[in-house]
Amino acid sequence: MSDTDPMTSVPARAPSTASASRRENSLRTGLSTDRDYGDWRILGSCRNVESSLFFSPEGERGRDRARREAHAKRVCQDCRVLIECREYALAVAEPYGTWGGMSEADRRRRTHRRRRRDARTSAERLL
């Protein structure tokens, strides 16, 4: 028996013994995902793309950064696990790279908007 899955080049591992609370079915793909291992990652469109497309090199700014991020987002656009990837990045507050079609700045803006909305909602409840 091979130690690597020939279809994905991912090392084979024993079935997860994670508790049911840590395992869930992905609504989008219908496949079982284990949040500890990120099984959804093997289905990503980015799987065989150079990681430098998704993570900016030191000092990258302006047009170069915008161009690289736009290209990364195009890879994500039709990905079958886009939602799982995005939810993961938001849940763990991933500070670097393009995940689920969102750049670092996109995720910061979304988090900031959500915090402002939540603060506004809390303030309205006090009135």
47 annotated as ligand-binding: no
Question: Which residues pair with residue 102 across a beta bridge?
Answer: 99
66 annotated ligand-binding residue: no
Label residue 69 exposed, middle or buried (CB < 10 Å: 0-12, 13-18, 19+): buried
Q: Is 85 annotated as a binding residue?
A: yes
46 assigned to a ligand binding site: yes
Element (H, E) at 24: strand 23-25
Alpha-carbon distance 32 to 28, whole Å? 11
Name the binding residues. Answer: 46, 76, 79, 85
Name the binding residues for [4Fe-4S] cluster. Answer: 46, 76, 79, 85
